[in-house]
């Protein structure tokens, strides 16, 4: 029996199961990829709100990454919530040590405004994580934090994508711009700008950012190139939103199992 492809998520835990590393692991499984995790923080949250955050010691985050990579290994890696300077430094150390090409999801703030990255850590994140990203996946608000731009149009998204690529990210996808009754993602690989459009969907949206970056990570493990991984992941997230999971009284989670019966994601 051949070994499965492997993806590692370095992220925070969502006690409600809809976002964070729980969403990542569900997504990896949906794509037939073996998932492992290094936990950076634990959160007390549900569909309504984040009640609390407890960060783990940075040396223990580093130890988890070492434990996975020295034994199980990983064909792709993503980062999510890193929360503070010490955790960022620990993750950067392991990225460099293992020459990783991570999908970097700059988890900074929830849709309701709860901070998931300490204010004093933003500059370190910008200087250390952007240029280590194989694919950087900020939403509009995160893009504004990373570039100091105000994003008010598709043209602004394109400018921001070029700036983030110039600052070191190999590929950039700026997600979830809402213009002219459409959701717009901009993908830039340093040569070509691609505009990826979709319809505005309502309802089950808890964990969409984590799920999107995890789907990209799983597809990279399966051998997809960056552009294909981004486009197919957008379709996956759209379908996951449409189906959704009717749980909780707030922003309900997406259905990570929406494609669970599909086997050949690369068309081979």
- In the predicted model, what is the mean pLDDT of residues 3-11? 97
Number of H helices, E strands in the chain: 8, 9
- Exposed, middle or buried by CB within 10 Å (0-12, 13-18, 19+), for 63? middle
Q: Using 50, 70 and 90 to split pLDDT, how confident is the model at 113?
A: low
pLDDT tens-digit map of 190-202: 999 999 998 888 7
Residue 71 has pLDDT above 80, yes or no: yes
Q: Does residue 54 sit within a domain?
A: yes
- In the predicted model, what is the mean pLDDT of residues 139-149? 94
Q: Does residue 224 sit within a domain?
A: yes
Q: Is the pTM of this model over 0.75?
A: yes
Q: Any idea how long the chain is?
A: 268
Q: Does residue 262 sit within a domain?
A: no
Q: Does residue 252 sit within a domain?
A: no
Q: Provide the pLDDT for residue 263.
A: 61
Residue 268 has pLDDT above 60, yes or no: no
pLDDT tens-digit map of 251-265: 888 999 998 756 667
71-87 burial, b if ≥16 CB within 10 A, otherwise e?
A: eeebbbbbbbbbbbbbb
- Read off the CATH number of the domain in which 22 is found: 3.40.1190.20
Q: Provide the pLDDT for residue 251.
A: 84
Q: Which domain holds residue 235?
A: 6-144+203-243
CA distance 210 to 21: 8
pLDDT tens-digit map of 21-61: 999 999 999 999 999 999 999 999 998 988 999 999 999 99
- In the predicted model, what is the mean pLDDT of residues 135-151? 95
Q: Does residue 173 sit within a domain?
A: no
Alpha helices by DSSP H, the chain: 20-30, 58-69, 85-97, 122-129, 140-147, 154-166, 208-221, 226-243
Q: How much is the mean pLDDT over the chain?
A: 93
Strand partners, 83: 117
Lowest-confidence region among 9-18, 175-184, 219-228: 175-184
Q: How many structural domains compose the chain?
A: 1
Q: Does residue 222 sit within a domain?
A: yes
- Classified as helix, coil or strand, 135 is strand
Residue 203 has pLDDT above 90, yes or no: no
Q: Which of 110, 31, 112 is nearest to 75 (CA)?
A: 31
| Inter-residue contact 45 to 17 (CB < 8 Å) | no
Q: Does residue 183 sit within a domain?
A: no
Q: Does residue 207 sit within a domain?
A: yes
Q: Provide the pLDDT for residue 194.
A: 95
């Amino acid at each position: 029996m051949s070994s499965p492809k492997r993806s590692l998520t370095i992220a925070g835990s969502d006690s409600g199961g809809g976002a964070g590393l729980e969403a990542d692991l569900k997504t990896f499984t949906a794509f037939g990829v073996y998932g492992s995790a290094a936990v950076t923080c634990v959160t007390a949250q549900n569909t309504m709100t984040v009640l609390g955050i407890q960060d783990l010691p940075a040396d223990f985050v580093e130890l988890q990454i070492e434990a996975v990579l020295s034994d199980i290994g990983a064909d792709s890696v993503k980062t999510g919530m890193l929360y503070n300077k010490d955790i960022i430094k620990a993750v950067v150390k392991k990225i460099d040590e293992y020459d990783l090409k991570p999908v970097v999801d700059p988890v900074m703030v929830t849709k309701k405004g709860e901070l998931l990255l300490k204010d004093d850590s933003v500059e370190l994140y910008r200087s250390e994580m952007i240029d280590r990203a194989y694919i950087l996946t900020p939403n509009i608000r995160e893009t504004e934090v990373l570039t100091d731009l105000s994003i008010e149009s598709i043209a602004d998204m394109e400018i921001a994508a070029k700036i983030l690529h110039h600052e070191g990210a190999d590929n950039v996808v700026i997600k979830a711009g809402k213009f002219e009754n459409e959701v717009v993602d901009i993908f830039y690989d340093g040569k070509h700008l691609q505009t990826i459009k979709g319809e505005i969907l309502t309802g089950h949206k808890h964990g969409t950012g984590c799920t999107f970056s995890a789907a990209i990570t799983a597809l990279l493990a399966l051998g997809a190139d960056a552009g294909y991984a981004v486009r197919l992941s957008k379709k996956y997230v759209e379908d996951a939103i449409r189906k959704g999971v009717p749980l909780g009284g707030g922003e309900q989670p997406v259905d990570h199992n929406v494609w669970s019966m599909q086997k050949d994601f690369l068309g081979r």
